[in-house]
Amino acid sequence: MKTLANCPLSEFLPAAYRLRDAFHEYYQLIGMDALREHYAQRMKDAADDAEKNVLSRAYLDDILRRMMQEHTTATVELIALIGFMTKEEAGALMPEEALGLILEMLRSERVMDFFISLERTAGSGTDGILRTLILLRLSVSAADTSATASKNSTSGTNEQSSAGDTPESA
């Protein structure tokens, strides 16, 4: 399946820019600035690392709740852009297919480098899109590490995988 992570440059550039604009609108829609400020203050007031860990998980949970429950239609529209498909095609995806598209994008150095460049060039004009993508990417990396550790402990191997590995290459 063609995605932002594996398309030719001639398709990547306009699609990535459209996605940037869509992220901007989505970021505003789900209220990321207010959410980030809320949790930043709570993290600042946290007594210890354990409380900060709980707050970090709650922050991610709030983001996911807004994406998956409160703004489902807008989330499907973003997935459609990532996967070069119509909203209807994206809406018909099985959950694991949609998650695969998102994970492929988050793991793609090419995509992340592009958004990092946009963030640096536009400054605050991207409304923290980069911070949101990095937060999601770190969550993906943590899940990859947990899955690898679980696999290694049950299989008795010492294989390691990096955050950028895909399931096929791990």
- pLDDT single digits (tens) 128-144: 666 666 666 666 666 55
Using CA of residue 103, residue 107, residue 111, residue 115, what is the dihedral sign? positive
Residue for token digits 């899940």?
Answer: 143
- pLDDT single digits (tens) 84-109: 999 999 999 999 998 888 888 878 88
- What is the C-alpha to C-alpha distance for residues 131 and 10, in angstroms, rounded to an integer? 26
Q: Give the mean model confidence (pLDDT) for residues 140-149.
A: 56
Tell me the pLDDT band of 18, cut-offs 50, 70 and 90.
confident
Closest CA to 137 of 159, 110, 104, 95: 104
pTM: 0.66
Radius of gyration of the chain (CA): 17
Q: Is the distance from CB of 1 to CB of 102 less than 8 angstroms?
A: no
- Sequence ranges of the domains in the chain: 9-153
Whole-number pLDDT of residue 152:
46
